[in-house]
Structure 1
Amino acid sequence: MDDPRHTRHMEITPLHPDDHDAVGDVFALMHAVRAADAPEGPAPVEQSFRAGLRQKRPGLDVTHYAATDGGAVVGYLGIGLLVGDNPHLAMAELMVHPGHRRRGHGAALLDCYVDHASAHGRTDLTAGTLTAWGDGPRRPTAGVAFLERNGFTLALVNVRRRSRTDALTPETERRLWDRARAASADYDVRTWTGPAPDDLIESICRLDALSRTEVPTGDIALEADAVDVERARAKEAATAAVHQVPVKAAAVHRATGEVAALTDVHAYEDPAATHATQGITIADPAHRGHRLGMLVKLANLRQLRQRFPRVEEVWTENADVNDHMVAINTELGYEAVDALSVYQRRL
């Protein structure tokens, strides 16, 4: 959508990465939203956000919009469309400044999202909102009411957890490591940062392709991802371009040389960033039962502390029904904070 959108005095226009001030205002809005809605959450990283506006992502077409009212940025909309695989699906991140809510801005941004997605042939639209989980901090309920009022229904609940990198005592960490190692005698552990080793990349692609079908996605229909070496290397280059460093560990089956389990944490190049984000952890179904998930996550935790000593905590998300991974994370010291409730609307 190239034409501006108006509601009362609000205008919605594409956010251009060269507009330094507008990008700064949107980033400030993100900070304001976090402070109002989820101050315990990880802080956005400006260096990576600015670079992400310029960087194309393999398999994903992302468009960014800024909403202004009287010259002030009051809202942000980021839309992601999967390219190639799953052409029915659209994803959105929608924010309205806490000081400008209940004025119709969110509805106008949602209309922009629907128009953009439908113009590109998408039939399944998703959007998330933070909700309280268990005894964790309270979260505003307006997001749920807004989505449900506009025809969205709950499709998936991802619980957000965090763990300090020193959450485990040395004795506990050693016990968990020894237990995992005893169950995985037929596997070697490999760790690295940045691009994957050439001798592992094809096997990693096979595991990446499994992740779409092995990880719970609730009512969101996702087909398996087509991953080859060229696309995998392009993803690695895109990650580097947004100033993130993948920190990875793999369990390699000694007899076959196949990667049997993989875990991925993203750290930030920004020296002020004291958190990292846990990505996928997956074990090949043919190799389960050897505590490989625990093995690779412990190995990666050690590597993260060594390579990025400034990182104090790691954030992760798990589907509320992913009992196996939740159990591993609980043993590793992760504690639930809140949930990202993902809603879906079919056009």
Structure 2
Amino acid sequence: MSDIDILPIDPLDADLVGAWITMQNAVIAHDRPGDAPYSPAHQRLRLLLYPASVDVERYVARVEGKVVGGFELVLFLKDNQHLASFELEVHPDHRRRGIGTRLLEFLEQRVAELGRDTLLSGVAETVDDAPAMDHAGREFAKARGYASVDNEIHRRNDLFAVEDDDLARLYVDAWDKAAGYELIQWVNHAPDDIVEGIAAMRARMYTDPPMGEELDIRPAVFDVERVRDEERVRADRGELQLAAAVRHVESGEVAGLTDILVFPGSEDHAGQNDTIVDPAHRGKRLGTILKIANQRLLREYRPKLRYVHTWNAEVNTHMIAINEAVGYRRLCRDIDVQKKLS
């Protein structure tokens, strides 16, 4: 199509932003049934506020004045400066007309101008005993030179179906294996005496989880300043961050971390953020303790919220076993697709 206009999103253009969010939610409903829709409140706040560790660019494609697609480009500033992560969407009613191709060409040219050489995105694929996903994104990425470099399974926990008695038994059993550790929980702002350990856990999330050999994600630069900046941004965006850590009492080391994010305007869905246990402290059931404790905290703060979403590398059998035990079930496979610019 020759009449496609690609323009940056002006956060103060209420009509444009509303059309963009409507398009995004049409994509989710069509392509990924059961996934969390975008909260209009949260999307509008994300346009205005993001951490100092990234730069974000967002564009829409319009045909005859109607928003039919768009993309979000995330550029890391403190680390992984070779990389550009993105999400690209085309409304289901406007596909196979060259809109996605034009958007991707524009995006790749922009990334090259910014001096980055690696593009990373994700596409969905159906798994057994779960809703049927639309595979248009997978085929589109493959046709345009994006290689599959890692597989994650997207799981969803229906909290209304979880038996509290089962969790209680798991929790007591886990603590029987975790002598010498203590649980610390907080909302939005990590305690000062553990924040350095939290920064170290955040950094490990870039390198510790299993990942494909070709996936080009490099070690992170994560310090206390970055942790505090992200906390400030989340608070300003109205996000509720519920977090838990386990600390080794004798050494004072933070041994594990997990957190859940609830976005403003999201009444039914929340997202699991990081979950990690330091390798030196594994085998103590700390992951189970963290997951159950934080799930209980979520129920306390949002008793009517139903679903929590999480992602694990398909080969991460240990964390998968923990998630399955506390109620998570497979929703789809998310494939990381990557392209190197020549």
Which bin holds the TM-score, normalised by the shorter protein?
over 0.9
Q: Output the amino acid matched with 2:235.
A: A
Provide the residue aligned with 2:335 in structure 1.
Answer: 341
Provide the residue aligned with 1:18 in structure 2.
Answer: 12
Alpha-carbon separation, structure 1, partners of 2:137 and 2:188: 37
Provide the residue aligned with 2:232 in structure 1.
Answer: 237
C-alpha RMSD of the superposition: 1.2
> Is the Cα–Cα contact under 8 Å of residues 271 and 310 in structure 2 kept in the other structure?
yes
| Superposition pairs of residues 139-218 of structure 1, within 5 angstroms | 139-218=133-212
Is residue 221 from structure 1 mapped to residue 216 from structure 2 by the alignment? Answer: yes
Out of 120, 124, 130, the position equivalent to 1:126 is: 120
- Which shows bigger deviation, 36-45 or 276-285? 36-45
Alpha-carbon separation, structure 2, partners of 1:233 and 1:227: 11
Is residue 259 from structure 1 mapped to residue 254 from structure 2 by the alignment? Answer: yes
Deviations, residues 158-212 of structure 1 (Å, cap 9, x unaligned): 2111112243323211110011100111111111111101111111111111111
Q: Output the amino acid matched with 1:13.
A: L
The alpha-carbon deviation at position 45 of structure 1 amounts to 0.9
Provide the residue aligned with 1:4 in structure 2.
Answer: none
Deviations, residues 313-344 of structure 1 (Å, cap 9, x unaligned): 10111111111111100101111011221111
Is residue 56 from structure 1 mapped to residue 50 from structure 2 by the alignment? Answer: yes
The alpha-carbon deviation at position 281 of structure 1 amounts to 0.5
> Is the Cα–Cα contact under 8 Å of residues 33 and 132 in structure 2 kept in the other structure?
no
Q: Output the amino acid matched with 2:154.
A: R
Provide the residue aligned with 1:109 in structure 2.
Answer: 103
Shift in CA distance, 48/135, structure 1 to aligned 2, threshold 3 Å: same
Question: In the comparison of the two structures, how many residue pairs are matched?
Answer: 340
Q: Output the amino acid matched with 1:220.
A: L
Alpha-carbon separation, structure 2, partners of 1:38 and 1:230: 36
Provide the residue aligned with 1:3 in structure 2.
Answer: none
Task: Give unmatched runs, 5+ long, in structure 2.
Answer: none
> Is the Cα–Cα contact under 8 Å of residues 132 and 339 in structure 1 kept in the other structure?
yes
Alpha-carbon separation, structure 2, partners of 1:275 and 1:83: 30
- Which shows bigger deviation, 207-216 or 60-69? 207-216
Q: Output the amino acid matched with 1:268.
A: F
Alpha-carbon separation, structure 2, partners of 1:322 and 1:116: 35
Provide the residue aligned with 1:38 in structure 2.
Answer: 32
Alpha-carbon separation, structure 1, partners of 2:164 and 2:86: 41
Percent identity of paired positions between Structure 1 and Structure 2:
36
> Is the Cα–Cα contact under 8 Å of residues 260 and 272 in structure 2 kept in the other structure?
yes
The alpha-carbon deviation at position 57 of structure 1 amounts to 1.9
Task: Give unmatched runs, 5+ long, in structure 1.
Answer: 1-6
Alpha-carbon separation, structure 2, partners of 1:58 and 1:214: 24
Is residue 250 from structure 1 mapped to residue 245 from structure 2 by the alignment? Answer: yes
Alpha-carbon separation, structure 2, partners of 1:58 and 1:324: 33
Provide the residue aligned with 1:329 in structure 2.
Answer: 323
- Which shows bigger deviation, 240-249 or 287-296? 240-249
Alpha-carbon separation, structure 1, partners of 2:264 and 2:66: 30
Q: Output the amino acid matched with 2:215.
A: I
TM-score by length of 2: 0.97
- Which shows bigger deviation, 134-143 or 233-242? 134-143
Provide the residue aligned with 1:91 in structure 2.
Answer: 85
Task: Please state whether the residue corresponding to 1:269 is helix, strand or coil.
Answer: coil
Q: Output the amino acid matched with 1:240.
A: A
The alpha-carbon deviation at position 138 of structure 1 amounts to 1.7
Q: Output the amino acid matched with 2:236.
A: A
Shift in CA distance, 164/141, structure 1 to aligned 2, threshold 3 Å: closer
Alpha-carbon separation, structure 2, partners of 1:170 and 1:303: 13
TM superposition outliers: structure 1 runs of 4+ over 6 Å: none
The alpha-carbon deviation at position 76 of structure 1 amounts to 1.1
The alpha-carbon deviation at position 127 of structure 1 amounts to 1.8
Task: Please state whether the residue corresponding to 1:238 is helix, strand or coil.
Answer: helix
> Is the Cα–Cα contact under 8 Å of residues 33 and 131 in structure 2 kept in the other structure?
no
TM-score by length of 1: 0.95
Task: Please state whether the residue corresponding to 1:56 is helix, strand or coil.
Answer: coil
Alpha-carbon separation, structure 1, partners of 2:120 and 2:9: 21
Q: Output the amino acid matched with 2:8.
A: P
- Which shows bigger deviation, 74-83 or 167-176? 167-176
